[in-house]
Amino acid sequence: MDTSLRTNVAGGYRFLPGIEPYCCGVVSQPGWEIVHATLDPPIPWRAGLHSIRQYLETNDRSRHALCGVELRCPEPFSMDNFINFNHEYRVLLEEWGLLIDGDNPVARTNVAPVESPPDESVIYGFSYTEPSTLQRPTFVIAGSGELRGRLDTDHILRCGETSEDALRDKARCVVEIMNERLVHLGNNESLTTVDVYTAHGYHQALMQCIIPGLPAVARLGTRWFYSRPPIQNIEFEMDMRGVRQELEIHLT
């Protein structure tokens, strides 16, 4: 992974490059802050992106302010189907001129709820920048499961295993990835939200992996979403952010 931050001048943030469909994380530039918004209700992903663009432009922000997207899908994809979905998603961002020298600057999380899943992929939330006098940076770290590098089933840690030992290794791997991204974004200590996505009980992972690896969790706690990561055979996912503003908005 390229660990050098790139600048999205039009967006007011820097980003840690990732893979074609998303970057690994974003952090605000001086004079800007990142705002997180949850949609009520979620909207089908393509129409949702257009509604988000309209929302931003109505609030004197351009489409370039978009820096994070959270998706919910009906069920985990096969690897090939996930790659195909990502291609469609990236094409839309490219059509909007959001890519920076071919890199996708927008962070992303995509998971499949176990209970009451949507009928199609929807946008659950998003993050964007706005002008601010806040003196500390704000940031969003993209979701990651126990897979490093390019999207390849061979890169899934202990693929197909769900024993207690395997789940602990998977959780430990994801915590390491979260910490690495946090360091590359500036080792920011202003963490406000830690999300965990798994269909397995995660108490042991919390005690043995998450709190030791991310000590701030002992103070903040975590939000557990009873969800599966978006790719079959990935069992544990996390994302994080450090923001001041959390909104709930209705878009059509």
Q: 6-249 has which CATH code?
A: 3.30.1330.40
Predicted confidence (pLDDT) per residue in 135-164, tens digit: 999 999 999 999 998 999 999 999 999 999
In the predicted model, what is the mean pLDDT of residues 37-43? Answer: 98
The structure's pTM equals 0.96
**What are the extents of the domains in the chain?**
6-249
Q: In the prediction, which pLDDT does 131 show? A: 98
- Over residues 202-226, the pLDDT tens digits come to 899 999 999 999 999 999 999 999 9
Given a cut of 60, whether residue 1 has pLDDT beyond it is no
- Asked whether the predicted pLDDT for residue 91 surpasses 80, the reply is yes
Asked whether residue 189 carries a pLDDT value surpassing 90, the answer given is: no
What confidence category does residue 16 fall into, taking pLDDT thresholds of 50, 70 and 90?
A: very high
Contacts of range 179-183, beta carbons closer than 8 Å, 24 or more positions apart:
179/213, 179/214, 181/16, 181/24, 181/25, 181/141, 181/142, 181/144, 182/25, 182/141, 182/240
